[in-house]
Amino acid sequence: MAPSLDDGSCLFNFAVREGNGVKGMVDLGLSKVPEPYIQPPKERIDKQKATRHEQEPIDLSRLNGPDHDQVVKEIVTAAETLGFFQLVNHGVPVDLLESLKDAAHNFFGQPSAKKAVYRKEVSPSPLVKYGTSFVPEKEKALEWKDYISLVYTNDAEALEQWPEECREVALEYLKTSMNMVRKLVEVLMGNLGVQLDDSKLDALVGMKMVNMNFYPTCPNPDLTVGVGRHSDMGTLTILLQDGIGGLYVKVTEETDDIGKKGEWVEIPPLPGALVINVGDTLQILSNGKYKSAEHRVRTTSTKSRVSIPIFTTPKPSEKIAPLPQLVEKDGVARYRELVFGDYMKNFFGNAHDGKKSLDFAQINSA
């Protein structure tokens, strides 16, 4: 029997507990946004108010030539200000990016029953989790998004356990991205005086996860969010977005070319480009020099949107803390040492709330 979408608990069961997601709800035919998805006015996204971040993408291939210093400067400046930048000539084949978007549409286009087998309560694999919104049990208003999350351990397990509709492309994406991740981490850590070797790289990006996000069409995008305001918890996030747009980042540093502090700027879709953003871990390690970016996603009424982030993070057992040489230079440690697994638990235990996730690492809130 079709559920009544006017009844909040019935809808919660249908979308969240039974794994039909926002997609399942939209497929029933919706003329208005159900009440549990209506955001309070301060969280709604006013498309008219945001400007586009028009900055040229950074050409990563120039890192290996006479423009090396200039490219380093561009990467470092972006990490210190907006915490977001776009990359071209990043080494990930452009046709792979197209295949990834197709794979995401194929996966989410399946009947709910095929996806719901990966709900966290029943998933046959600890590496695979399908869900909707972020932490539905804790949220005042639900996010208009379904997702699947794929943790990487090794190639064999990925090819065995990740869903067959997307396993090969997702693995290829992850593997072809790592060269770029290494270069970026090398540049960012090098600028802090840290020479990167394999063990340092592993401490920073020892865990990797590919997500596929699916944002179905929404009858009233002005009332909902695809993802609420948040920063990512890890080191760097690599994000592939499709051509629809709707990713916004909050300006934290007053800069002439980006905008005023507190304003939201849109990261426009650029064909062939990947979006990179700084996560909380890098903010902690750099004692606040690099900024994890607060960002959010709008929904649209015309076409469903997909995005495919790779989250690179330390392993759960890894200890993270501001680098001693920075603490010495700054005369203060702005964050405490913590075990990354504890940071993750706190992150996934709370609804999105801007950069509040970082309070867990704040020196006086321990």
Name the site residues for Fe ion (rule: CB under 5 A): 232
Query: Would you count residue 177 as binding ligand AKG (CB under 6 A)?
Result: no
Residue 247 CB coordination number (10 Å): 24
Pairing of strands 84-88, 58-59: parallel
Torsion sign over Cα 282, 187, 275, 119: negative
Given candidates 307, 312, 313, 357, which one binds ligand AKG under the rule CB under 6 A? 307
Query: Would you count residue 299 as binding ligand AKG (CB under 6 A)?
Result: no
Query: Would you count residue 287 as binding ligand AKG (CB under 6 A)?
Result: no
Beta-bridged to residue 296, according to DSSP, are 248
Given candidates 232, 280, 294, 318, which one binds ligand AKG under the rule CB under 6 A? 232
Closest CA to 36 of 152, 144, 127: 144
**Rounded distance, CA 337 to CA 276, Å?**
25
Q: Which residue is nearest to ligand AKG (CB)?
A: 307
Given candidates 177, 213, 235, 312, which one binds ligand AKG under the rule CB under 6 A? 213
Nearer to Fe ion, 34 or 145 (CB): 145
Closest CA to 189 of 14, 197, 168, 230: 197
Query: Would you count residue 211 as binding ligand AKG (CB under 6 A)?
Result: yes
Nearer to ligand AKG, 81 or 307 (CB): 307
Beta-bridged to residue 209, according to DSSP, are 151, 311
Closest CA to 30 of 200, 212, 192, 220: 220
Query: Would you count residue 247 as binding ligand AKG (CB under 6 A)?
Result: yes
| 241 interacts with, out of Fe ion, ligand AKG, none, CB within 5 to 8 A per kind | ligand AKG
- Tokens 């120039």 belong to 62
Q: Which of residues 81-140 bind ligand AKG (CB under 6 A)?
A: none
Q: Which residue is nearest to Fe ion (CB)?
A: 232
Residue numbers of the site for ligand AKG (CB under 6 A)?
Answer: 211, 213, 227, 232, 239, 241, 247, 295, 297, 307, 309
